[in-house]
Structure 1
Amino acid sequence: MPRTHAMPLRRTALAAGALLAALSLTACDGSTGSGSSDSSAKAKADQPLKLGQPSPETQEVQRYNKTGKFTITPQKVVMGKPADLDELNDKKYKGYTLAWAYVNAKLADGDTPFKGPMIATNVGMQMEGGQQGTRLILLMGGLSSRPADCHDEDTEATWKKGDDHTLCVPFVVPEGRKVAYVLYSKGFSAEPLKWAVE
């Protein structure tokens, strides 16, 4: 994968969680009462959402000593062309292309008004086979190939409760590889939310 100015998502192992769940069920002496219900609920919660579905719970974002609670809704992924990266004039992008993730965020609760939430830093992309896309951060200017409806995140805007904005995040991905999921990181200790790209 080419090195870009990116903020990769933190990943945690599922194996430890699965082992703990198995131990918990064993400790119930084979009972299939509440333990079975809890397992079913967790399994359902771990199922990927579909693009256009809001996050099942609000996600906390902290900045300027305030905490906002946001509903996150990835809407679509727009694939670019390999030539889109040519203007960066860097051979490391050979064999790669761009994928643009459109994500809506709505300030549902928390400390309001809220200034400058940085939502894009938590957005990720996963390809078929599990490989992560790399978020592309352009330090100066933009790309001429950027879709007309693709807007950068305004990190200094002031949001009121109920405000929502759609941001567009570019990722460098392997050419010819299908994007499987848009991700939203929930921090160090939890698996990211997943939205399946069909």
Structure 2
Amino acid sequence: MLYKKTALRLAAPVAVLALALTACGGGDDEKGSSGKSKDKPAAADKAKAKPESGGELGTGESATGKVEEGDAPVTYEITAQKVDVGTEADTKKMGVDPKKAKGLVPAIAHVKFTHKSGAALKETPDANDGTRIFADGRRGTLVIGASEDAPGCEDTYSLKGWKQGESHVLCETYLIPKDAKDLEVQWSEEDGEPFIWKFAATK
């Protein structure tokens, strides 16, 4: 799995910044939140609806990826549906230090996962751990525990027993510059190249 969020969520009563805020403009912006290669992946041929090893997809197109859920691999079909962008007032409501979050707004990625093959999940899913948001080419700052109550987002703690054929929409919240124009939702397997969906930043 890319990183485990459960312990942090249980320990924090409010949203927690999981990455240094300098990630929004720092030198490691080409590096994913899991510490993967800094090499920026080349865009895949757009004619491929489901590239097998990462690449750019069109709106509504899906990718297929594997995740180690507990001690068993599960294959998912993954589709980034949209990104909801909030305001600086929304950032304040999340309990983030206003000095560190000045000029930043929340962006919530909605990603649909369909369990295609593998055993039913015995624990909360790790499928969404591979999700990241980039704004104008720079990786945003992950905010842990900020998506569970967002409209259209499902609580991962209620998904034990997720079995083949079921689909769920999981969300991740990142802080991005308020004037960002172009957004990317990226998802990747552990040590894999990311699949990329592009969206315009609309509020």
Paired with 2:68 and 2:141, the residues of 1 have a C-alpha distance of: 23
Distance 1:143 1:187, change over 3 A: closer
Please name the residue that 2:35 is paired with: 10
- 1:61-117 per-residue CA deviation (whole Å, 9 max, x = no partner) reads 11221111111111001110111111315121111000010000011012x222332
Q: Which residue does the alignment assign to 1:30?
A: none
Return closer, same or farther for 1:171/1:65 CA change in 2, 3 Å cut-off: same
What is the TM-score when the length of structure 2 is the normalising length? 0.69
Q: How far does the alpha carbon of each residue in 1:15-67 deviate from its partner, in whole angstroms, 9 at most, with x for none?
A: 8x99xxxxxxxxxxxxxxxxxxxxx9799656511232111xx2111122111
Q: What residue in structure 1 maps to residue 72 of structure 2? A: 66
Q: How does 1:164-179 map to 2 (within 5 A)?
A: 164-179=167-182
Q: Which residue of 2 aligns with 1:124?
A: 132
In 1, the alpha carbon distance for the partners of 2:70 and 2:161 equals: 12
Deviations 1:175-195 (A, max 9, x none): 11124210002222x321111
Alignment match of 2:112 (pick from 96, 104, 107): 104
Name stretches of at least 5 consecutive residues in structure 2 with no aligned partner: 1-15, 20-31
Q: Distance in 1 between matches of 2:114 and 2:59?
A: 16
1:167 CA drift (Å): 1.1
Q: Is the 8 A contact 1:48 1:195 kept in 2?
A: yes
| Greater alpha carbon shift after TM alignment, 65-74 vs 4-13 | 4-13
Is the CA contact 2:88–2:105 (under 8 Å) kept in the aligned structure 1? Answer: yes
**Residue number in structure 2 paired with 1:192:** 194
Structure 1's unaligned 5+ residue stretches are 19-39
Secondary structure of the residue aligned to 1:159 is coil
The AA in structure 2 aligned to 1:162 is G
Larger Rg: 1
Q: Do structure 1's residue 93 and structure 2's residue 86 form an aligned pair?
A: no
Partners of 2:194 and 2:140 lie apart in 1 by 14
When normalised by structure 1's length, the TM-score is 0.71
Answer 1 or 2: which has greater helix percent.
1
Work out the number of aligned pairs and report it.
165
